[in-house]
Amino acid sequence: QKYGYYHCKACNIRWESAYVWCVQGTNKVYFRQFCRSCQKSYNPYRVEDITCQSCKKTRCTCPVKMRHVDPKRPHRQDLCGRCKGKRLSCDSTFSFKYII
């Protein structure tokens, strides 16, 4: 799981997502995300590891996890190529066998 930056060229809308699924050890994206306006699917133009804002590490032991993610923001299952139309959402499971 990585953090991605998206840009819809048709609508000129930009968005970010903490639900970018890549081939392990690479930035090769498995699933596209859909623009909320025109429903065209896109890969992120930039991908980075989800890091702790306190210690700047990907996997940290900080008592308070300050990630580059807003945990209160709901995951848009209807715009996610991985869980669109599926029973379970990306934010509720981490295993492929429950999604596909």
**pTM over cut 0.85:** no
- What's the total number of domains in the chain? 1
* Structure tokens given for 39: 């429903």
- Write out pLDDT tens, residues 33-62: 999 999 999 999 999 887 777 777 776 777
pLDDT digits over 56-89, tens only?
Answer: 777 677 766 555 566 567 778 888 888 877 777 7
39 falls within a domain: yes
For residue 40, what are the contacts with CB-CB under 8 A and spacing of at least 6?
8, 10, 34
Render 2-38 in DSSP notation, one character per residue.
EEEEEEETTTTEEEEEEEE-B-TTS--BS--EE-TTT
Give domain status of residue 99, yes or no. no
Q: Which helix (H) or strand (E) holds 97?
A: helix 96-99
Give the range of the structural domain holding residue 32, as residue numbers without chain letter.
1-85
- Cα–Cα distance, 51 to 66 (Å, whole number): 8
Q: Is residue 23 part of a domain?
A: yes
- Tell me which of 24 and 12 has the higher pLDDT: 12
